Structure 1
């Protein structure tokens, strides 16, 4: 049985997993929505900034929890959930 391996070519670059960067940014500076922008969720990033300003940072617990969730998922599960299926919240 022959298995095929995806090779890197000019028109088929390897997929980038942003799990570590998004998770650490969510934990450290999540109140300003940086982790949302890293994952490509511009609208949700702006919403996160507005919620942080309105609540004077109290809702900063939400990105902290998101960061922990990001870091505890397996690489494949994170990639499938947040980068392929584009699930913006939790």
Structure 2
């Protein structure tokens, strides 16, 4: 898609750590952009999932389980980031629709 998608830079920033998500949220306050809001919700969900599952992974001492968790996170993160770069609004696999529902107040 075109690189002139409104909110594209804000959407990309949202995927750069949880701090980037917070910065993107404040950048998107005025004027609000639906494309950026979509990706802010996706990125926020991915980061929250990382921290929640990461806390649970601390209970395990298995490299296979922990490695699987990191691969899962990287796939979700990369999928979201690539969609933001391409100017597309596709939800991340498995959890994306839930992120849009749970974080619907982030706009």
Q: TM-score range by the shorter chain?
A: 0.3 to 0.5
Question: How does the TM-score come out when normalised to structure 2?
Answer: 0.33
Relative contact order (C-alpha < 8 Å, sep 6+): which is higher?
2
Larger Rg: 1
Question: How does the TM-score come out when normalised to structure 1?
Answer: 0.37
